[in-house]
Amino acid sequence: MFKWFDKWNREHPADIERPAILTGVAGAVVLAVVAVMALGQPYKTDSLQTGPRGNGMSVPEFVSDLAVPDPAIAELFDDPPYVPEEGEELAGDIYQNVQVLGDLTDANFNRLMAAMTRWVAPEQGCAYCHGDGDLETYGEDTLYTKVVSRRMIEMTRNINENWDAHVNANKQVGVTCMTCHRGQNVPSDIWFKMGEVNMAAAGWSAVQNRATPLTSYTSLPTDALEKYLLDGDMIGVHDLESRVAARPGDEGVPTIQDAERTYALMNYVANSLGVNCTFCHNTRAFYDGGQVTPQWATESLGIQMVLELNNDYLVPLAEVLPEDRLGPVAGDAPKVACRTCHKGYQQPLQGTNVIADWPELATSEAPDYGQ
């Protein structure tokens, strides 16, 4: 009795699969849209405009990454200074051999000493610099760590006092021991001379062709930090014109290897700050210094600052440091570069004002407590 129905279906076939698929896809899209609206876009990006709009001069980052703070920020603590009262005795008059910080009151001197212990040697405590003796022995310079610490205080004051245009380019930030040390005796991301890295190669290895951290694991020259952040060589690429009169080896004439060193340094800087080339450069005119971003000037100051820190403060410490703290190849003192402070962020500790409670480290003069 259903023959008529079968016949009708044969003569009038219906496509039921395609509508079902379309309906399923539409339903999945609706569910995805509802989920994004309710839970948020997990791959949403934000960008920092570094130059004129329309030419790609921006640094994109995932919003989810931006929302994750530098874990070291959680280790920061507030400890406002004590406003000195007239006639208070100073640390230099109370304790022996106080060569720096002697103009602090006793309360502020000990407040800063306690903070430095937390920043640099939280496990060893005061004994890291002063040894295990009684308080009467704290004035002695028997441990190299105390001698180094004194010099690092002077270096920190110099950074805050004389390199304000780099450190506080956008707002008051400052640096303290915590900026580099992060609770470690020796800061991470220091560097040493690497020497020849490809001794097995026949002929001249050109200090390259082996992936190392200092070259961001590229085959670029490994001595870029040494040449530019220690020796102060000119940063530049080879001439863009062919058959120029200048010859490699002439003073001020960058060679192809100088260009490769420059690329190695730029790779290092970009990775140290977690940015790309357009943070400082206009990709349409890489070689035109008149079309760079404001960040280019800030970074240029940073390079000059690092040069001074390495040569004036850190390299001389090779005479003080024990052998196990020196470089494994050249026996040189540890040195700093961009990543030592920045740790992969545009600003160290993501721009947190770390100097607010520590005016004693902001100047080599008597600190201003805002009286």
129 is in an annotated binding site: yes
Half-sphere exposure of 116 toward its Cβ, with a 13 Å CA cutoff? 23
177 is in an annotated binding site: yes
Among 52-66, 146-160, 239-253, the least confident range: 52-66
152 is in an annotated binding site: yes
126 is in an annotated binding site: yes
Q: pLDDT at residue 239 above 80? A: no
The reported pLDDT for the residue numbered 326 is 96
Give, in order, the Cα–Cα distances in Å from 287 to each of 236, 254, 327: 9, 14, 35
178 is in an annotated binding site: no
Among 42-51, 173-182, 184-193, the least confident range: 42-51
281 is in an annotated binding site: yes
pLDDT range class, residue 40, cuts 50, 70, 90: low
Average pLDDT over residues 186-209: 73
Cα–Cα distance for residue pair 299/69, rounded to 1 Å = 23
341 is in an annotated binding site: yes
pLDDT range class, residue 342, cuts 50, 70, 90: very high
User: In terms of pLDDT, which residue wins out, 118 or 13?
Assistant: 118
113 is in an annotated binding site: yes
Q: pLDDT at residue 203 above 80? A: no
β-bridge mates for residue 309, sequence order: none
